[in-house]
Amino acid sequence: MSNSDILEPQKWIERYADLLLGYAYPRVNRQDVAEDLVQDTFFSALKAQDTFRQESSEKTWLIAILKRKIIDYYRKKSTQNELNVLTEANGNDGFMNHFFEKEEKYDGHWTDDSAPRSWRKDFETKVETDEFYDVLRKCLGKLPEKWSAAFTLKNIDGLESDEICKELEISPSNYWVIMHRAKLQLRECMEKNWYTE
């Protein structure tokens, strides 16, 4: 049997469009981008029917193509500028000085404004609401592209640091700095917009 007997491109949209969109959306956090990535996936798949191996299902194969598209999107979106500031782990730039006092003077302690506060008690019963996920999506969206990409690859796709470095074409030291900053910013954003009453 040739691939054309197994693949049924005329039925792809009906069968997989929503499924692929559901896969892409939480990884890019933008409906228009997710839709474009799905469309690109179908076109690429159409052209690459010869590469389909019968051991995998049509669905798995399409998702694998979409995964590559998402990674390409992450790579393209992040500019070199985002990385230039990130060479120093504990840099004294504006971002870090917002969160921490300078080491020489105040021992790198949290600043008064940014020190974590206890979150409201009822948050565990409220986190599953749509409003909560709206805030989370917005806060993830506020991170620079490469930061949210790294955070997403780690927490949604469960990748380890060395794989993420490879996919995003960054150095390990950049990765640790990115994750540090992404967590600081995300946590603060959630605290300001959701957890404090």
Partner 1 sequence: MHGKKLVYGMKGFNKILICCKQATYLHEKQREGKLRFFERMGLAIHLLYCSFCKLFIKQIEQLETCTKQYQQIQENKNKFSSSRKAELQKVLNEAMK
Residue at token pair 């999107």? 73
18 binds partner 1, rule: CB under 8 A:
yes
* 3-state secondary structure string across 28-85: HCCHHHHHHHHHHHHHHHHHCHHHCCCCCCHHHHHHHHHHHHHHHHHHHHCCHHHHHC
Residue at token pair 């105040």? 106
Q: Give the whole-angstrom CA distance, residue 100 versus residue 23.
A: 37
7 binds partner 1, rule: CB under 8 A:
no
Closer residue to partner 1 (CB): 75 or 137: 137
Q: Count other Cβ atoms within 10 Å, centred on residue 182.
A: 21
Binding residue (CB under 8 A) for partner 1 from 59, 68, 109, 166: 109
Total chain residues near partner 1 (CB under 8 A): 59
In whole angstroms, how close is the CB of 81 to partner 1 at the nearest point?
Answer: 22
180 binds partner 1, rule: CB under 8 A:
yes
In whole angstroms, how close is the CB of 84 to partner 1 at the nearest point?
Answer: 19
28 binds partner 1, rule: CB under 8 A:
no
Residue at token pair 């600081």? 184
Q: Count other Cβ atoms within 10 Å, centred on residue 62.
A: 24
DSSP conformational letter for 115: S
Residues that bind partner 1 (CB under 8 A): 9-10, 12-14, 17-18, 21-23, 25-27, 31, 34-35, 38-39, 42-43, 46, 89-90, 96, 99-100, 103, 107-110, 115-119, 127-128, 132-133, 136-137, 140, 151-152, 155-156, 160-161, 176-177, 179-180, 183-184, 186-187, 190-191
